Structure 1
Amino acid sequence: MLGGILALLAAALFGLNNAATRRGVLTGTALQGMSISVPVGLPLFFIAALATGSAADIFHFPASSVLLLVTAGVAHFIWGRFCNYQALQSMGGNLVGPVQQVSLLISLALAIIFLGEVLTPLRIIGIILIFIGPLVMLRSRKAQVEPKATPKFEPNYARGFTFAALSALGYGSSAVLIRGAVIDVSFGASLAGGVIAYGAATLVLLPVLFYPRFTREILSMNRATAKWFTLSGFVVCTSQILRFMALTIAPVAVVAPIQQTTTIWRMIFGWFLNRDHEDFSSWVLAGIGVSLLGALTLTLSTEFVITNVPLPDLLISIARWQWP
């Protein structure tokens, strides 16, 4: 019960993070956002590691795990986050969300290759639904070809879809890298691993921040923009910590489906914070629903479905097929 509550809180905070970031990039840049949100995560994760008595575990990871965590930190907090900010700036959170569900497919592919996961008919259905989601959303673009009034928000689909897909590459690969690094460690040690990942990302970002042209860009940020990016940084790091806590006391089969409700929370917070800067058309909402259904399907266990859904023997035998 507690694990499910923590997972739901984490998902809600992820949604709030996307809405706050969207508000920030309306007047700021991706680099301005990262100059706040990435360094903020390092002390927060370190405090969490101290609170669990696991700060010393930072120095106990083997070299192979450190390499995985460093790579994951750069992939997620530098590559993924920068591309996510660019995507949010281009077409808003509602349009970005279904495209970023592709990160689940990337995680699954890497898990099959490196962690011994398998492909099942249920997962194939989920993959198909995730790909259909963005295609459904494109109907919204066609519906706006002959508008009678100037819309409040004009998405840049080409730029937004490109950066959303690139961010999915970073987010999807980092999940497998982190899993490979902390697969045999305790809850507290996993938070120590988060310190390593955030630390690596911060070290990569610092030289960029001190480059004169980029320093001027960061210093030109106004107070309102800084406020939204600061909120985003604290919220996303807190959600990551809650996610780690949830996974220590609840199985992935419980936590992962709940985490996919981030798409719903993104819409809820977007409605209150960014109503004039998001696309809430029926086709976009339908695309979000289809991709969310696909994401949830990917997280379902075949045995769970067979046990809880009455199926004929033929479908049961098909459902149990695995590859490789």
Structure 2
Amino acid sequence: MTDLDLVVADKQTAADGVALLTLRRADGGELPAWEPGAHVDLVLGADLVRQYSLCGDPADRSGWQVAVLREQSGRGGSAHVHDVLAVGDTVAARGPRNHFPLLPSASYVFVAGGIGITPILPMLAAAQAAGADWRLVYGGRTRGSMAFTELAERYPGRVEIRPQDETGLLDLAGIIGAAADRPVYCCGPEGLLGAVEKECAERGLAVHLERFTPKDGVLDGPRDAFEVELAGTGEVITVPADRSVLDVLEDAGVEVLSSCQEGTCGTCETGVLAGVPEHRDSLLTDEEQEAGDTMMICVSRSRSPRLVLDL
């Protein structure tokens, strides 16, 4: 995937600790099309690539908007955006890609926690434009830390703003219980996602999630050595128990795009032509994992002695 060199056209404070960036092409040309739920990789440095959900208007091909939360215990990406990146700077971008699409429905329930509101924003506009019946419950630590709270005025009667210091924790049992048969879309911290997933499973409701961090325990488990065969060349490479497929391929000079190295972004998704992958990502659905025809090579391993990869 070719990098796009984009210029930071605008940088604003969207909430306490949240920076809103507008990115445009230097030549003023159109950016690639995208749909609600999509994210892009921003290449902030040689070894600093981070994923951010697009939160603007998909119909506006002149610019992309991303909102970045300053992570106090982060790995440097958000600090770079907040403290270093300035209007006029150039940043490389990859994508967009979408593992969190909004599927057609007559009605929806949206649940957002903190910065998890970002992929939900364009979904609300799309649901409204389609004439769907929908509801958003948006929680955060404090009102000042919550970006885009003007949604309540934009969509009166459909949006509930729930700062924890004012209203307590979200009543997920009540929210999900009232969903009836409506699909639930949720993005936010892992505690929220896990709780929503559990509530939906108990009620047999369809749930669609996007994670910023790995599922609890998903990266655990035994690690055995196995082989990978590259379909394009026939080369066979051994993956030791203490290394990832991605690491071994990079050492062998095989160029594979990667980013999060946690199984959450989808950048390194690779086709599987033979063998049975052991999925340790936090991105593919249960059905996609069961199909076994693709895997995230940054974290996933193999249940069979050999995997044949579409590389």
Higher strand share: 2
TM-score (ref. length: structure 1): 0.23
- Which structure has the higher relative contact order (CA within 8 Å, separation 6+)? 1
More helix by share: 1
Per the normalisation by structure 2, the TM-score is 0.23
